[in-house]
Structure 1
Amino acid sequence: MQVWSVGIEGYRSIRRLNFPLKRLNVFIGENGVGKTNLYRGLQLVQAAALGTLTRELAMEGGMESALWAGPRKKNDKARIRLHADVGALTSDYAYRVEAGLVQQAGGTTIGAGFLREPQVKEEELIFLGGRRAETLLVRRGPAGYARDESGVRVDLDNDLLPSETALASLKDPGRYPDLHVVRAAMTDWRFYHSFRTDPQSPLRHPCLAVTSPTMSSDGSDLAAVFATLAHIRQDTADLDRAIADAFPGARLWARTPGRTASFGMVYEEFPKRVFDASELSDGTLRFLALAGALLGYRLPALVALNEPETSLHPDLLPALGRLIAKAAERTQVWVVTHSQILADTLEDATGVQPRRVYKQDGETLIEGISSLGEVDDDDG
């Protein structure tokens, strides 16, 4: 299921943004313009499906830190509003969620919750794939309903806490099949922000030899991902090409796993010497981790990369762009970058025009896209 559009409102430097997505989506901008807030907004949509939205916001410093920092209209509620349209061939489902502050009266909280914790205020899931739109889930505070497999309205359980999303809580796939489909699609997304390369990094050490078709977000199973391609799928052609593109004359060595899996690199200058992961440079290791994320046996429904060029030598960026373009043939990819080299390579390889992110009067904006999601050209 592809993501067809995303909306973020009231979050940090984003006052209001709605934008369509394609198979490959590239956002480029300078440091400090709010690119990571775009990436993080999509991550929070997934957190709603996982049931961790309010915890994620609390970890950011609470609503005081996460809310739009600019001016609001007098009657505008202090809310973070997120939405995503997902579907196989078109926008079949529209999910919307709002988070806000704990309601107070006379200095005390109303309902279950702590004074400063973020709370889910509203949720809605609408099916758009039929002749007419059908509301599948509505939540206003503690009250609301969901439609079951027969289309019958079922009131939400009174035990649903303000810190919980209904989308994550209604987990019976037989009774709520549409909610299950949307939740499964969103929880399948993978976000890759950075990879540790210090001596204790899991990338540098063997991992358990367990078949791993998709790499975890921290790359801790990278060796198993490579072993799965080499010894289960027995097809490393794309991986070999990507590594040769980045490191001419070099090749990956994925050892036959025992209880653990490990890997190394063999270089043209030293054909009989395997350089273990613990010996590789930080840049080489990061590129290999990105290759594992983008060329795994089974890719997730969406791969989101936040500044993947970090700590890579500029000479590696064209190869990284071609690697990302290859992955976009198999899944939906979201890239946030400040590298013009990477953005240009992606445009040359795919024809997709990067969208420039900028800040105006403290507000993050996307060039060529209005706050309502209207695109000013055919490439957006």
Structure 2
Amino acid sequence: MSFSVRDIWFKGYRSLRSIHFEMGELTIFVGANGTGKTNLYRGLQLIQAAARGSFAHELAREGGLAAALWAGTRPKNEPARIHLDVGLVGEAAAYRYRIEAGLVQQAGGAIFGNGFLGEPQVKLETLKFSHRGREQTVLERKGPSLTILGQDGKRRSFGVPLLASETALATLHDADRLADIAAVRRALIEWRFYHGLRTDRDSPVRQPCHAVATPTLASDGHDLAAVFATLVHIRTDTAALEESIEEAFPGARLVVPMPDRTASFGMVFPDNARRIYEAGELSDGTLRYLAMAGALLSARLPPFIALNEPEASLHPDLLVPLAGMIVRASQRTQIWLVTHSQTLADAIRDLSGVGPHRVVKRDGETWLEGLRLSGDFADED
């Protein structure tokens, strides 16, 4: 079952005091440094972390909940919490997943709850299902207590109290009786985030990898050679890949040997057509562009791809070809793009008709120009 992201609502996370907006198949964000673009991207990563079971660990790596909480003012009686909420829609049904994290409660030196002092504590978690105007709460977690809706329509308690660091979405694995929960968890885990793919000498992208048929590029790009080999030798579908390379590097071609125990690739350039430049020899910009090609043109795209500043290290001449790959991929899957480059955003708009949302800061709060409190945009009227 495949789902697209219908809307998100992030509240209390870093510079995101409270922001809710609807998503399209291609959503582009442009803004200056310090406006909070990466916080929007990071909020989606935390939702995926909830599905993977690493939600508390991810927040701990950010410096703990205290460092990740909205630092501005809040209503007097409102608890200090991070609220992440995503709406998913499929062919026949829609789901809404919500998770809230807060601080461990203390009174008289005692800690309330089953977590450590200072760790992010999951306070609330819900998964709601809606179909033909009818909504049901499939999963509801408050603190350590959890109730679920079975296939028989009856609610029951989950027998084991959850630790403060655990998420219900990752803990429940009974796919036979909890098909809705399993479907949402699987959809979120399949998301891909491509940010800062390393191109240094020891980066995974430069290394040969195991020769295993690979339909989708990993988030760190370590299986790029296998992705190319799958397109060339198994799917024999390289038209889009060849076109994207020709647009970026006229006269050059990608060389992908038939794998044995490992898969590898190289490039041949017109000024030295007899020499194959292996991945370890390619420039950072060339390698990053090829990694984006692997992410966006692979044999099977994930249901959702988030790109954070994919233009980094690229020569300006490569931005229009990159825009073409992004638009082509958006016809197969849902794309979320965060970029500093107005040139890239303009090229995508020219090719797709989809304009960017400008990310701004107002009184320390991240916001999108034209966004209304209803979650839609003024320019959509």
- TM-score interval (norm. to shorter): over 0.9
Amino acid aligned to 1:229: L
Is residue 212–residue 224 contact of structure 1 (8 Å, CA) maintained in 2? yes
- Matched residue, 1:310: 312
User: 1:198 aligned to 193, 197, 200, which one?
Assistant: 200
Q: Which runs of 4+ in 1 moved over 4 A?
A: none
Deviation at 1:19, TM superposition (A): 0.7
Cα distance in 2 for partners of 1:369, 1:44 equals 23
Cα distance in 2 for partners of 1:128, 1:367 equals 31
- Matched residue, 2:334: 332
Q: TM-score of the superposition, structure 1-length normalised? A: 0.98
Deviation at 1:199, TM superposition (A): 1.0
Residues 231-380 of structure 1 correspond to what in structure 2 (within 5 A)?
A: 231-378=233-380
Is residue 12–residue 82 contact of structure 2 (8 Å, CA) maintained in 1? yes
Deviation at 1:90, TM superposition (A): 7.5
Cα distance in 2 for partners of 1:130, 1:182 equals 19
Amino acid aligned to 2:328: K
Question: What's the secondary structure of 2:5's corresponding residue?
Answer: strand
Structure 1 residues 363-372 or 353-362, which shifts more? 363-372
User: 1:39 aligned to 23, 31, 41, which one?
Assistant: 41
Question: What's the secondary structure of 1:239's corresponding residue?
Answer: helix
Deviation at 1:364, TM superposition (A): 0.3
Question: What's the secondary structure of 1:134's corresponding residue?
Answer: strand
Amino acid aligned to 1:49: A
Deviation at 1:270, TM superposition (A): 1.4
Is residue 17–residue 372 contact of structure 1 (8 Å, CA) maintained in 2? no
Structure 1: tracts of 5 or more residues without a match: none
Amino acid aligned to 1:370: R
Q: 1:40 to 1:212 in 2, by over 3 A?
A: same
Aligned residue pairs total 379
Once the two structures are superposed, residues 134-178 of structure 1 have per-residue CA deviations (whole angstroms, 9 ceiling, x without a partner) of: 111111111231111222212023331111111111111101010
Q: TM-score of the superposition, structure 2-length normalised? A: 0.97
Deviation at 1:372, TM superposition (A): 4.1
Is residue 209–residue 262 contact of structure 2 (8 Å, CA) maintained in 1? yes
Residues 167-182 of structure 1 correspond to what in structure 2 (within 5 A)?
A: 167-182=169-184
- Matched residue, 2:162: 160
Cα distance in 2 for partners of 1:158, 1:34 equals 38
Is residue 113–residue 143 contact of structure 2 (8 Å, CA) maintained in 1? no
- Matched residue, 2:15: 13
- Matched residue, 1:95: 97
Once the two structures are superposed, residues 27-62 of structure 1 have per-residue CA deviations (whole angstroms, 9 ceiling, x without a partner) of: 110111000000001111111111111111011000
Is residue 16–residue 371 contact of structure 1 (8 Å, CA) maintained in 2? no
Once the two structures are superposed, residues 260-289 of structure 1 have per-residue CA deviations (whole angstroms, 9 ceiling, x without a partner) of: 000000111112211100110000000000
User: 1:85 aligned to 62, 84, 87, which one?
Assistant: 87
Cα distance in 2 for partners of 1:61, 1:205 equals 32
Amino acid aligned to 1:165: T
Cα distance in 1 for partners of 2:316, 2:153 equals 55
Once the two structures are superposed, residues 186-224 of structure 1 have per-residue CA deviations (whole angstroms, 9 ceiling, x without a partner) of: 111000011111111111111110111000000000000
Once the two structures are superposed, residues 216-244 of structure 1 have per-residue CA deviations (whole angstroms, 9 ceiling, x without a partner) of: 00000000000000001011110111111
Cα distance in 1 for partners of 2:348, 2:310 equals 13
- Matched residue, 1:149: 151
User: 1:188 aligned to 187, 190, 201, which one?
Assistant: 190
Once the two structures are superposed, residues 307-366 of structure 1 have per-residue CA deviations (whole angstroms, 9 ceiling, x without a partner) of: 111111111111111110011011000000010000001111111111000001111001
- Matched residue, 1:55: 57
Cα distance in 1 for partners of 2:130, 2:303 equals 20
Amino acid aligned to 1:2: S
Cα distance in 2 for partners of 1:107, 1:226 equals 58
Is residue 146–residue 161 contact of structure 2 (8 Å, CA) maintained in 1? no
Question: What's the secondary structure of 1:197's corresponding residue?
Answer: coil
Question: What's the secondary structure of 1:269's corresponding residue?
Answer: helix
Cα distance in 2 for partners of 1:370, 1:7 equals 13
Deviation at 1:371, TM superposition (A): 4.1
Deviation at 1:74, TM superposition (A): 0.9
State the Cα RMSD in Å: 1.2
Cα distance in 1 for partners of 2:152, 2:291 equals 45
Amino acid aligned to 1:75: N
Amino acid aligned to 2:63: G
Cα distance in 2 for partners of 1:115, 1:91 equals 40
Deviation at 1:91, TM superposition (A): 6.5
Once the two structures are superposed, residues 64-111 of structure 1 have per-residue CA deviations (whole angstroms, 9 ceiling, x without a partner) of: 110001111111110000011112248711111101111111122112
- Matched residue, 2:4: 2
Amino acid aligned to 1:284: T
User: 1:30 aligned to 25, 29, 32, which one?
Assistant: 32
- Matched residue, 1:229: 231
Is residue 17–residue 370 contact of structure 1 (8 Å, CA) maintained in 2? no
Amino acid aligned to 2:278: D
Cα distance in 2 for partners of 1:150, 1:240 equals 52
